[in-house]
Homo-oligomer: A and B are copies of this chain.
């Protein structure tokens, strides 16, 4: 039986303050849990229903505590409205970020993304389109928010996410690295030659790219809206995770054509 203090500890990890205090987080659902078990993340404990444990073979090198729980116990520790059969309790990572990566590959930079679902979706999309590194502003929503973790659908196990002071990164990157950002006075992304290294900045859901970051953008782009002859009203914008997806896709498009 789960002790009260254990239930309290796991439940506390829904709150950012406690995730930061303990350096721990939780992930739920078979796909996410199995991918995180085999990742670089360090597991502390696995909570699972009896049937789940009998149906799922854990890796031979899995050394963490395994705790069989009942559905009633799971419902007391879950962050989901309908609990999954397994919950993994892990240590968070505080990854460094090496700015010289941008000289060799494409990096996503998130400037104050606020919605946990958007952050999770951006990580999932980045994974699909082969972006291995994301650098987030210090005001970006927490990676370890249960909603973010769940909406990565396991991609958090493969994409490196680091929180940094972005202007410092951009100053270090210098002017030799292309820094792309979607701005109103940008060039149609379809008419632009896109590099296979550099930094791509994705702005906040409401205000877009902040002024202090905007000054560092040396390759202004925009995603055109399709306009038929009849359309008079123009939609205002795309959702941040959608804009990110279109940009990631367009950067990879020419290479994916032959696949």
Residue among B158, B191, B242, B249 making CB contact with A233, cutoff 8 Å:
B158
B226 lies within 8 A of A252 (CB): yes
A190 lies within 8 A of B253 (CB): yes
A236 lies within 8 A of B31 (CB): yes
Rounded to whole angstroms, the CA-CA distance of A227 and B128 in the bound complex is 8
Contact flag A255-B226 (CB < 8 Å), given A117-B117, A231-B130: yes
Residue among B154, B227, B237, B257 making CB contact with A235, cutoff 8 Å:
B154
Q: Does A121 contact B (CB under 8 A)?
A: yes
Contact flag A130-B227 (CB < 8 Å), given A124-B238, A241-B242: yes
A128 lies within 8 A of B225 (CB): yes
Q: Does A182 contact B (CB under 8 A)?
A: no
* A85 CB → nearest B CB, Å: 16
* A80 CB → nearest B CB, Å: 14
* A116 CB → nearest B CB, Å: 12
Pairs across A and B, CB under 8 Å, 28 listed: A31-B236, A35-B233, A121-B239, A121-B241, A121-B242, A124-B235, A124-B242, A125-B242, A128-B237, A129-B225, A130-B225, A153-B235, A153-B236, A153-B239, A154-B235, A155-B235, A157-B233, A158-B233, A158-B235, A188-B259, A191-B257, A224-B259, A226-B252, A226-B256, A239-B241, A241-B242, A245-B246, A249-B249
Given contacts A130-B227, A190-B256, 19 further A-B contacts (CB under 8 A): A117-B117, A121-B242, A124-B238, A125-B238, A125-B242, A130-B226, A153-B237, A154-B236, A155-B235, A157-B233, A190-B253, A191-B257, A223-B249, A224-B256, A224-B259, A226-B252, A226-B256, A238-B245, A242-B245
